[in-house]
Amino acid sequence: MGIMGRFYDEDIKKSPRIDRLISHLYAKMPVIEADRAVLLTESYRETEGEPVILRRAKAFLKICRELPITIRPEELIVGSNSIAPRGCQVFPEYSWEWLEKEFDTVEKRSADPFYISDETKRRLREVLPYWKGRTTSELATSYMAPETLTAMKHNIFTPGNYFYNGIGHFTVKYEEVLEIGFAGIRDRAAAQLAECGLGDPDYASRVSFLEAVILSCEAASEYGRRYSVLARELAGRETDPARRAELTRISEVCARVPEQPAASFYEACQSFWFVQMLLQTESSGHSISPGRFDQYIYPYYKADLDAGKITRESAQELLDCIWVKLNDLNKVRDKDSAEGFAGYSLFQNLIAGGQDAEGNDVTNDLSFMCIEASMHVRLPAPSLSVRVWNGTPNEFLIKAAKLTRTGVGLPAYYNDEVIIPALMSRGLTVEDARTYNIIGCVEPQKAGKTDGWHDAAFFNMCRPLELVFTGGRESGELVGVETKPISEMRSFDEFYDAYRQQMDYCISLLVNADNAIDRAHAERCPLPFQSCMIDDCIARGKSLQEGGAVYNFTGPQGFGIANVTDSLLAVKKLVFEDKKLTLEEYREALRKNFGRGLGTRETEDLVAQVAGGMSAAGQPVGEAEIRAICEAVRKDPVSPAEKAKYDQLLDWIDELPKYGNDVPGVDAFAREVAYLYTKPLQNYRNPRGGIFQAGLYPVSANVPLGSQTGATPDGRLANTPIADGVGPAQGRDTHGPTAACNSAARLDHMIASNGTLFNQKFHPSALSGIEGLQKFASLIRGYFDQKGMHMQFNVVSRETLLDAQAHPENYKSLVVRVAGYSALFTTLSKSLQDDIISRTTHGF
């Protein structure tokens, strides 16, 4: 491929406005604002006893009418969720107690701090208590089985995302809003309403839903008109004639969209933006992804360019403005989640390139301009993705590689040749599968037809392995299922079978948790605004949360394949084949963390034991005593002989072949290990009528969840990170990027239809010159030829990262790819920074 001159792939000059917009956006720490929570609560108080879907719509209408609005200096695309740049609103309908507890610490916490004023605290304190007993989180908890709650307490998995927040993780039919406006959608709903038969069995719910849709369309239309008025007022006061003209234009544009169809490229861009931001006003779900922006905006771009109404440069400037605005949206998470999702990221995934419904390549000039925009702004949002298939033009891949080379951690590369059949295997039509886009980190779906629940939980595959060693018990509690005591195991098969049993059981608990949360959202937080832009909600007369989408999935992620593979193989070889030690000895080594200081859980258990013994003996056990015991226990000196024994064990482990080095036998085993998660999961169903489908990636949860995991038989020490995505364990791959790619490609990516994540870190020198770019592109093609699904790259030097850690003030804009997204390195927690640094650097 690659007929030169087919595309405009030259650099396009960046408008000086863009850097000024960025400076303004990042001048201060983000702020928490109270207005949405106050308006929401006021509305709920007024609608007590009404159908929940109408209460949601009325609250949304009130928010759109009364939420303070602002136009920031020099903006061309307008609409902000908060008055403060990068500010955020509060969504107490999902959960709120954590926020109140963090009022005085949220400003100083290490991951994603927010400023909150005393006035905001006061206003929030007035409304938050209203939500006691009314949140989705509380209802979900009440629906969960006791065993599930126990497993969650022990960190076997975490459904944190949807447990405490909105769902998000969808792409709406932006193209429909551009084409017919909210007026058109409102008319569609009204027509459906007129057809409701008085004798229909679902008359009540259908009518309420359609009325809610109509209110939501009015809300969005009114919100746009408020900006028209504001822009006109500002234009009247503006002394700079150039800016006055811009404001006047903004006022004209917002007078029409999003209510009316977009009549120009500018209106299309502005209408898109209103949809994108209002979706994030309606609910706190993240990963609300713009999807195939280069496809649905292109007709407007092409028409205006051909008509001479815009130039490439002016169009690029508007795109750049949208890119900046995507970073204006923000969300406050609880402290623990903030560490797992560090970097203020909302995972707004925007994808360029790929095929149309008939399988033709539809890469266009706008696809190139999307990459150009990310080069211009160099910010974490949007999470830019590119679709790659055998027909992808070479020059497009080279343009993408140039962006990779900047070190911004973008774009992520996706393989059509795996994703399309994977989606079809889940029941999508070939046309829907071919026009997929990516949600959030790495999750494929058909836009405008899917409720994917793509980030439904993180499942730590190392924890069931720990449970095998303890027969399912931990800290005196039955957490997993009771399996055969290791002292009685006579073969590796018995050990492996026990792991399978623990996995099966824990997966069933995960499903129990997700379905409880699913139900809670349907009952308490159905979302009429987003539902009106996803098929087939209007025709079915029900919200997305109640199963209104054409395709319904639940996609929880498993991670730790590399650690579990290396661990099981170590047990097999050292215990059962070479008989170098017994399983009990192995367990002792893990408990003692290979003689490298006790891990957190062992420490806590021992402290509890000692304290229990003391108080039983009538001794006082206060805070000071506990601290002293803790100190003594943590050191837990091992004897030199013991230490030598553990060192020997670590040496034996080191010498074993590891996943990530292109060793076919090891990789084949890894494939089986991944199946232990992906296969059982697909047998479960969710309350929306869909199935579960597995993903294999941890976002950045491999760090915080690793910190809750004891030492593992692969030599990984207690509380250290779990392996990232489908990649090798940290520092275990020693044969370069192609070997790591080959190992990862030996997994079955097709069955992990909720996405897999393969991270590689490159030094910029590996991408120097056109030859370096071409070789880099070939690496991606080679991995994809072997049916790998996704690849992403950090291109920075280790020295740069170490220096950034030491002098964060000099690296405020250093962007790294963390997992499925890019984040500002200096905003990440220290442990996550260390993890990024320790990942093997290839390509010197």
Chain residues binding another protein by CB under 8 A are 662, 735-739, 742, 766, 771-772, 774-775, 778-779, 781-783, 785-786, 842-843
End-to-end Cα separation, the chain, in angstroms: 29
- Burial (CB count within 10 angstroms: exposed 0-12, middle 13-18, buried 19+), residue 642: middle
What is the per-residue DSSP string for 502-570? HHHHHHHHHHHHHHHHHHHHHHH---HHHHTTSTTHHHHTS-GGGT-SSEEEE-PEEE-HHHHHHHHHH
Question: Closer CB to another protein, residue 161 or residue 730?
Answer: 730
Give the C-alpha separation, 550 to 817, whole Å: 33
Instruction: Reply yes or no: is the peptide bond before residue 68 cis, omega within 30 of 0.
Output: no
Question: Which lies closer to another protein via its Cβ, residue 6 or residue 735?
Answer: 735
CB of 85 to another protein, least distance (A): 42
What tokens appear for 92 in the block? 């107490």
* Distance in Å, CB of 1 to another protein, minimum: 12
Catalytic residue flag (residue 532) = no
Closest CB to another protein among residues 313, 647: 647
Spatial contact of 461 and 706, defined as CB atoms under 8 Å apart: no
- In the bound complex, what is the minimum distance in angstroms from residue 786's beta carbon to another protein? 6
Q: Which two tokens stand for residue 763?
A: 């030094």
For 581-615, the three-class secondary structure string (H helix, E strand, C coil) is CCHHHHHHHHHCHHHCCCCHHHHHHHHHHHHHHHH
The smaller minimum CB distance to another protein, of residues 372 and 662, is found at 662
425/786 with CB nearer another protein: 786
Q: How far is the CB of 737 from another protein (least distance, A)?
A: 5
Q: For residue 537, give the nearest of 522, 523, 548 by alpha carbon.
A: 548
Smallest distance from another protein to CB 651, Å: 9
Least distance in angstroms from the C-beta of 750 to another protein:
17
Residue placing its CB nearer to another protein in the complex, 619 or 765: 765
Distance (Å, whole) CA 727 – CA 743: 8
DSSP character at residue 413: E
- What are the residues facing 477 on neighbouring strands? 474
Closest to another protein by CB, 400 vs 818, is 400
Q: Which residues of 541-579 are buried (b: 16+ CB within 10 A; e: fewer)?
A: bbbbbbbbbbbbbbbbbbbbbbbbbbbbbbbbbbbbeee
Sheet of strand 790-795, all strands in order from the earlier edge strand to the far edge: 349-352, 383-388, 412-415, 790-795, 759-762
Q: Least distance to another protein from the beta carbon of 775, Å?
A: 5
Closest separation in Å from C-beta 782 to another protein: 4
Could you say which of 175, 339, 443, 546 is catalytic?
Answer: 443
Peptide bond into 698 cis (omega under 30): no
Name the minimum Å distance from CB 744 to another protein: 13
C-alpha 56/C-alpha 64 separation (Å) is 12
User: CA triplet 662, 665, 667: central angle to 5 degrees?
Assistant: 55
How far is it, in rounded angstroms, from Cα 520 to Cα 516?
6
Q: Which is nearer to another protein, 487 or 778 (CB)?
A: 778
Q: Is 523 a catalytic residue?
A: no
What does the alpha-carbon distance between residue 222 and residue 768 come to, in Å, rounded to a whole number? 51
Those residues whose C-beta lies under 8 Å from the C-beta of residue 610, and which sit 6 or more positions away, are 629, 633
Cβ proximity to another protein: between 573 and 775 the closer is 775
Helix (H, G, I), strand (E, B) or coil at 444: strand
Catalytic residue among 88, 441, 462, 537: 441
Q: Catalytic site residues?
A: 441, 443
